[in-house]
Amino acid sequence: MKEFDFLQVKDQPDMQLEFKRIAEELFNNYLILKQPDKEYYFTDIEFYFLSPLHQDFFTHAGEEQTEIGNFWHHKSGGIDLTFGDKEKEFWGGILIRGIIAKNNCIPYNGCTDVTKELLKGIKDKNGIIPELTLKKIGVKPDREITIKFEKQRQGLKPEMFNIKRIKFKNATVPTDIKTMIEFFQHKHYRAYF
């Protein structure tokens, strides 16, 4: 989809610049439209991406994450904006951790509150939420939002790790889960303002 071209990524071992580019685009140029007329700004997001070169095994790697631009209610209870590519073996999810309602400026912080608000009155269809879409902001804001990147993603725990989620032909999975958690916690994969 041409409107979501900004969600396409290049596979590389270090995705921080790609994630920063996408975060700036989402925060400055898009909002979430909940049909028919509720709108929300992004305030806090967290990136998960699994590919042959970027082996973040904390990514759910659900079939839904091989599409671009869907809102997916995943098995951990949160909602992701997906940005994968099935042909390239990319699984991508942007976990929505914070939003602000445009009409009344009420903030929703944390995955539980965000999910409750976005799913209020609607039901997902096998995880996909068709009532939620990205809406491009027609008028640029007076100033661009300054985005901060946090070093540590939230909630990376050994019990989350499930090596059976996905297998690559040449995957080198650390046998020490603690090493993997420490590696991915120090990546700047969480953006907020």
| Predicted pLDDT at 169 | 42
Please spell the DSSP secondary structure of 10-79, one letter per residue.
---S--HHHHHHHHHHHHHHEEEEETTTEEEEEEEEEEEEE-SS-B-TTS---GGGGSEEEEEE-TTS-E
| Predicted pLDDT at 159 | 42
Query: What is the count of structural domains for the chain?
Result: 1
Structural domain including 13 reads 2-192
pLDDT tens per residue, the chain (193 residues)? 457 788 888 888 778 888 888 988 998 899 999 998 999 999 999 889 989 888 887 788 888 899 999 999 987 889 999 999 999 999 999 999 999 999 999 999 999 999 999 999 998 787 899 999 999 987 655 555 566 665 455 554 444 433 333 334 444 555 566 666 666 666 667 777 7
Residue 4 corresponds to which tokens in the numbers above?
A: 């979501």
Nearest to 188 by CA among 23, 53, 59: 23
Q: What angle do CA 114, 116, 122 make, to 5 degrees?
A: 115
Q: In whole angstroms, what is the distance from residue 55 CA to residue 180 CA?
A: 10
Residue type, 11: D
Which CATH number does the domain housing residue 80 bear?
3.10.300
| Predicted pLDDT at 80 | 95
